[in-house]
Amino acid sequence: MALNIFFELTIIIAVALVMAVLMKVLRQPLIIGYILTGVIVSPHFLNILQSEDVIQTFAHLGVTLLLFMVGLNLNPKSIKEIGKISLVTGVGQVIFTFIIGYVIASFLNFSHLTSLYLAIAISFSSTILIMTLLSDKGDLEALYGRISIGFLIVQDLIAILILMVVSTLPQGVDISTLALGALVKGVIVLFLLALTALYFLPIFTRFIAKSQELLLLFSLSWCFAIAAVFSHLKFSMEAGALLAGIALSLSPYRYEISSKLKPLRNFFIIIFFVILGSNVVFTDATKFLVPAFALSLFVLVGNPLIVISLMGLLGFTKRSSFLAGLTVAQISEFSLILVALGVALGHLPLEILSLLTVVALITMAASTYLILYSDKIYPFFSPYLSFFERKGKKIDEHKYQQGHDHDILLFGHNRVGHDILESFQKIRRKVLIIDYNPEIIINLAKEGYECKYGDADDVEMLGELNFDKTKMVISTIPTMETNLLVINKIKEINTKAIIVVISHQIDDALKLYEAGATYVLLPHFLGGNYVSKMVKEYGLNIDKYLKERISHVKYLKGRKKVEQERNH
């Protein structure tokens, strides 16, 4: 028996590896590769899965750990920081998607209960997928990125409540009827968990954290214990794991816990999505083609339109609304977990899980490209998006400038930009700073700098700048495509402007020079060049190096002080 399980797992992991490599090449989420692995090893193809009960247990462990780690990143204190826009967009999108989704499912002749499940399932977007893609693009700090993360937090909190409600419903009951006793029981459990998180866990984790091994063991024990308690009380084990993570998210050691558990979670979550793929039913698959297409189309088009409309009504520009809207064009891991729970409770037939799995594959694959290439897609839709934009000043149009003529334009006020800005003050030239982080813009405005919120990838924003009178443009953005766009836009208007850009690759730097850059700064090579000059000048004289050290420490402390003042 043990040998058979080991053999099955070996084949599954090998196939998953091949599919994961293929997904990387296609720039697709690994989740899709894992689901396709399940389809390949299912009885419909290789028929590898024989020890299904054992592997199902592994899958449950994967979901438990996944939701526990999602909870670790849902610090309740962040609720205060997500703001009105995230709350309104998050709740509004879920409500409108649910209503329209229910109408579509009912029109497709699904039963009342099935329509409710499907409507709820397509209301949630993938936190893991969106955060990964935004991180890859470097847009987590952008305004639309922050709003997206904000309404994902709202969605996850709603999902917790729904998982708790659904798990208390006995087989065959209408989902709209919930016993008052179960609701009271849930409130009591949440109250006790909150007290434990606030008064017991901080003291205990400080003691445990002295040993990394003890911290890992405690985290696992806490996760599975709370999940087991929730299961015993007839609540969802998944909701228990999620709340266990949220309780620990208040701990300063949540990052250490998360990093320790990540490899373990990754292994078990692979098994969950493999099992999910293996349950895809291909018999009479044609009858699900129309529902799968209709639901996928709504998620890919309808969800973004709902977010764009809500943000437009709240007074945001069409670009911020469009970019944030594209992030919700897929369904979530929660969606699959919810429907899998519905199947386990006998509320839904297995075919519905197959249907939603197909919707997940379609929407995750398509939305990945939509999010990654949103900056290139936006110009095509921009003329038609004005309909969603309110007239007058926009919330995200942070402009703190006098006039439109500036000697120098600085794109990106990061670590490099800060030092460059100091040199501008010495030569007394009129400077305009453009950055996509609204907090940076507000802080710079308070310090008396002329600045403007904007993204260098935005062709419309570039068109608003007066390059004709500009004498120098500096971009601290390391993305070659963005710098090429800036260079080309400037060269069309002003061939005499000095253009300085940054690159981290030699080949990219050469392309930027060919495009017309006056100078390309390569930070890594510049650092090595500076050290080599020190060696030539100082030789092996330690006193000279110590003088350099004193000067550098003074500089670093000054920079740290500036950053702390801005953060406060």
- Range name among 200-214, 276-290, 467-481 with the lowest pLDDT average: 276-290
Q: Looking at the domain assignment, is residue 560 inside a domain?
A: no
Tell whether 467 and 375 lie within a shared domain. Answer: no
pLDDT in tens, 384-419: 888 887 776 666 566 666 666 788 888 887 656 666
End position of a domain, from candidates 334, 353, 388: 388
Q: Which segment, 299-313, 416-430, 498-512, is predicted with the most confidence on average?
A: 299-313
Tell whether 453 and 322 lie within a shared domain. Answer: no
Query: Is residue 19 a contact partner of residue 9, using CB atoms and an 8 Å limit?
Result: no
User: Between 433 and 77, whose confidence is greater?
Assistant: 433
Question: Given a cut of 50, is residue 175 above it in pLDDT?
Answer: no
CA distance 423 to 435: 18
Tell whether 379 and 429 lie within a shared domain. Answer: no
Q: Looking at the domain assignment, is residue 435 inside a domain?
A: yes
Tell whether 323 and 246 lie within a shared domain. Answer: yes
Q: What is the pLDDT of residue 30?
A: 82
Question: Given a cut of 60, is residue 78 above it in pLDDT?
Answer: no
Q: Which segment, 430-439, 472-481, 551-560, is predicted with the most confidence on average?
A: 472-481
In our burial notation (b when 16+ CB lie closer than 10 A, e otherwise), range 66-101 reads bbbbbbbbbbeeeeeebeebbebbbbbbbebbbebb
Question: Given a cut of 90, is residue 44 above it in pLDDT?
Answer: no
Please give the share of the chain, as a percent, with pLDDT higher than 70.
87
Tell whether 230 and 151 lie within a shared domain. Answer: yes
- The two structure tokens encoding residue 118: 């499907």
Q: What is the pLDDT of residue 261?
A: 82
Question: Given a cut of 60, is residue 41 above it in pLDDT?
Answer: yes
Query: Is residue 496 a contact partner of residue 478, using CB atoms and an 8 Å limit?
Result: no
Tell whether 342 and 455 lie within a shared domain. Answer: no
Tell whether 376 and 407 lie within a shared domain. Answer: no
Q: Which H or E run contains 502?
A: strand 498-502
Q: Looking at the domain assignment, is residue 541 inside a domain?
A: no
Question: How far does the chain reach from its first CA to its final CA, in angstroms?
Answer: 61
Tell whether 46 and 84 lie within a shared domain. Answer: yes
The total number of structural domains that make up the chain: 2
End position of a domain, from candidates 388, 412, 427: 388
From residue 160, give the alpha-carbon distance in Å to each of 72, 82, 126, 154: 14, 18, 14, 10
Q: What is the pLDDT of residue 176?
A: 45
End position of a domain, from candidates 503, 521, 539: 521
Tell whether 354 and 231 lie within a shared domain. Answer: yes
Q: What is the pLDDT of residue 210?
A: 74
Question: Given a cut of 80, is residue 564 above it in pLDDT?
Answer: no
Tell whether 165 and 276 lie within a shared domain. Answer: yes
pLDDT in tens, 115-143: 999 999 999 998 778 877 887 777 777 77
Q: Return the CATH number at 449.
A: 3.40.50.720
Q: Which segment, 57-66, 220-229, 436-445, 540-549, is predicted with the most confidence on average?
A: 220-229
Instruction: Tell me what the pLDDT averaged over the chain comes to.
Output: 81
Q: Return the CATH number at 93.
A: 1.20.1530.20
- Range name among 26-35, 134-143, 221-230 with the lowest pLDDT average: 134-143
Q: What is the pLDDT of residue 565?
A: 60
For residues 69-85, give the mean pLDDT: 67
Tell whether 419 and 335 lie within a shared domain. Answer: no
Tell whether 366 and 406 lie within a shared domain. Answer: no
**Containing domain of residue 405, as a range?**
399-521
Q: What is the pLDDT of residue 455?
A: 82
- Range name among 107-116, 301-310, 319-328, 431-440 with the lowest pLDDT average: 431-440
Q: What is the pLDDT of residue 326?
A: 93
Q: Looking at the domain assignment, is residue 438 inside a domain?
A: yes
pLDDT in tens, 451-502: 888 888 887 788 878 888 888 888 888 888 889 999 998 988 888 888 988 8
Q: What is the pLDDT of residue 117?
A: 93
